[in-house]
Amino acid sequence: MSGPASVQAALQRFAPDRLDRHRHKITQRLCACHTPAMGGIEAHCDHCGSEAAWYHGCRDRHCPQCQGRATRRWAERQDKQLLSVPYFHVVFTLPHDLNGWVALHPEIIYRLLFKAVWTTLDTFGHDPKRLNGQLGMTAVLHTWGQNLSRHVHLHCLVPGGALSDAGRWHPARSNYLFPVKALSRHFRGTMVRLLRRAWESGQLQRVTRPGEVDRLLDALMSCDWVVYSKHCLQHRTSVVEYLARYTHRIAITDARILSVSDDSVTLRYTDYADRDRHKTLTLDGPEFVRRFLMHIVPKGLMRVRHYGFLANRCRKRKLAEVRSALDQPEAVDEAPGKEAARVPLAGLSCRTCDRSPLRIIATRQPTRPWRRSSA
C-alpha cells in the first residue's frame, strides 16, 4: 500500500461499511481529515513563490492528526490554574473481569468509575486523620492498553493538599498522598456498591445471564484492585506538560504504526508485563480497526473532568482561597491574545523553502460530502 502508515490509512482500507451511527460518523471524519474531502485553502509563499493546498482537519477528539494542537490549547488554559505545590499522579484501574459489562454499558460503567474514584479520594481528603479538607482533582479516562486491548483506567492529577472549611491549606504529609492499599480497598467497595445499585435500578439491563451479577461482584470483592500513586513534578511548566500528555491521548498514534499492508497493520507497543520491552504486533486489518473503534467513547461523554476545588462551578473562587492560604499570587497570563491567535496560517511553513508566514490566495470547497448516511 502506498502512502504513509497511519490510523487514517488503516481506516480508509479496512473500516467496515456497517457500523453504528456514532462510530460511522467518527470513522468518516477521521478518513476525511486533512484531505480534499474537508476543503481547505490555497497558500502562496512570498519567499520562493511556490503555492500549495492546506486541507482542514476534522478536529475529532479521536483523531491522531488533530490532538497535538488541541493538547497545546488545553495546556495553555490550564497553566494559570496550577498551584505552586507538589502534585500527585494516581491511577485507578478497573479489573478486566468487568470488560464484558463495559462493552454492554460503556456510558454507565465510565460514569460510575469517575464517581467511585472521586468518592474515594474525597473521603480520604476529608478524613480528620489525614488532610481534613477538600481535595482538587483532574481525572482523565483511558480505555486502552498498549496493544489496543480493553484496559479501563482513570489517570488523576491531584494537588498535594486540601482546603479546610476555615480556609486553611493542609499540605500532604507523604510522598504518595494516601496509602495505595487503603485506596484500593475503598475504591473496590465503592465501585462494587455502585454497580450493584445500578443493576437493582435497571441501568444494566443488557446483563442478562442468570446469577451473573451476584457471581461477578462477589468475585470482584475477593480480589485486589490495582491503584497506583506516585509523587509528580513540582515545577509548574513540567506539571502542565505532564498532564497534557494524558488529557488528549488517544488509543494509538500514527508514530506507533509501522506499516499498513493489503491485509494487515503492524504497530509498536511496550509490554509492561515483560520488563517494559518494546515489541511489534501485526494484526489483521479488520481486527486492528475493531480494536481501535472499541475505544471510541459514547457520544457526549466527557473524558476529562475536574472535581473538588478544581470543579468548573467553583474553581475561580476556590483557587483564590487556596492561593490566599498559600500566600501565592495569581499566575500572569502570558498567552498570546485572541487577535494573535486568529492570524491566518499561524505556525505553518512553506513546504518548499520552509519559510513562513504564508499568504492565503484562494479557498477550496470540500470535494464531496464526507458525512455519508450510516449503513
Distance CA 259, CA 235 (A): 38
- In this prediction, residues 205-220 reach a mean pLDDT of 95
- Among 57-66, 72-81, 100-109, whose mean pLDDT is lowest? 72-81
CA distance 167 to 330: 17
Within a domain: 105? yes
Is residue 367 predicted with pLDDT exceeding 80? no
Kindly list the strands in the beta sheet with 264-271, ordered across the sheet, starting from the edge strand earlier in the chain: 257-260, 264-271, 277-284
What pLDDT was estimated at residue 95? Answer: 97
Cell digits of residue 298: 459514547
Is 14:291 a contact under the CB 8 Å cutoff? no
The alpha carbon of 129 is separated from its chain's Cα centroid by a whole number of angstroms, namely 33
Is 161 a domain residue? Answer: yes
What cell was used for 91? 491511577
Q: Lowest mean pLDDT: which of 219-223, 331-335, 359-363?
A: 331-335
Task: Give me the mean pLDDT over the 257-282 stretch.
Answer: 92
Residue 213 belongs to a domain: yes
Per mean pLDDT, which range of 77-86, 185-194, 251-260 is the poorest?
Answer: 77-86
pLDDT for res 363? 83
Mean pLDDT of 132-149: 94
pLDDT of 110:
97
In a domain, residue 358? The reply is: no
Q: How far apart are CA 329 and CA 20, in angstroms?
A: 50
Question: What is the model's pLDDT at position 51?
Answer: 81
Closest CA to 316 of 17, 80, 139, 106: 80
Position 121 in a domain: yes
- Residue 369: pLDDT band by 50, 70, 90 thresholds? low
In DSSP terms, 231 is beta-bridged to: 88
Q: 339 falls in which pLDDT band (50, 70, 90)?
A: very low
Indicate whether 371 pLDDT > 90. Answer: no
Q: In angstroms, what CA-CA distances link 95 with 99, 101, 192, 217, 246? A: 8, 11, 11, 11, 21
Range of lowest pLDDT (75-89, 132-146, 156-170, 213-227): 75-89
In terms of residue numbers, what domain contains 309?
A: 81-251+295-326
Q: Is 60:33 a contact under the CB 8 Å cutoff? A: yes
Report, as an integer, the average pLDDT of 21-45.
90
Cell of 192: 462494587
Joined together, the cell numbers standing for residue 11 give: 481506516
Residue 345 belongs to some domain of the structure: no
Mean pLDDT of 7-20: 92
Asked if 33 and 58 touch (Cβ cutoff 8 Å), the reply is yes
Judge whether residue 111 has pLDDT over 60. Answer: yes
Tens-place pLDDT, residues 274-318: 888 999 999 999 999 999 999 999 999 999 999 999 999 999 999
Q: Residue 345's pLDDT band (boundaries 50, 70, 90)?
A: low
Highest mean pLDDT among 208-217, 249-258, 325-334: 208-217
- Quote the pLDDT of residue 347: 57
Is 143 within a domain? Answer: yes
pLDDT-based confidence at 201, cuts 50/70/90?
Answer: very high
pLDDT at 27: 94
Looking at the domain assignment, is residue 375 inside a domain? no
Cα distance between residue 219 and residue 315, in whole Å: 39
Q: Is 183 left (phi over 0), alpha (psi -120 to 50) or beta?
A: alpha
Count the domains in the chain.
Answer: 1
Q: What percent of the chain has a predicted confidence (pLDDT) above 70?
A: 89
Neighbours of 119 (CB within 10 A): 17
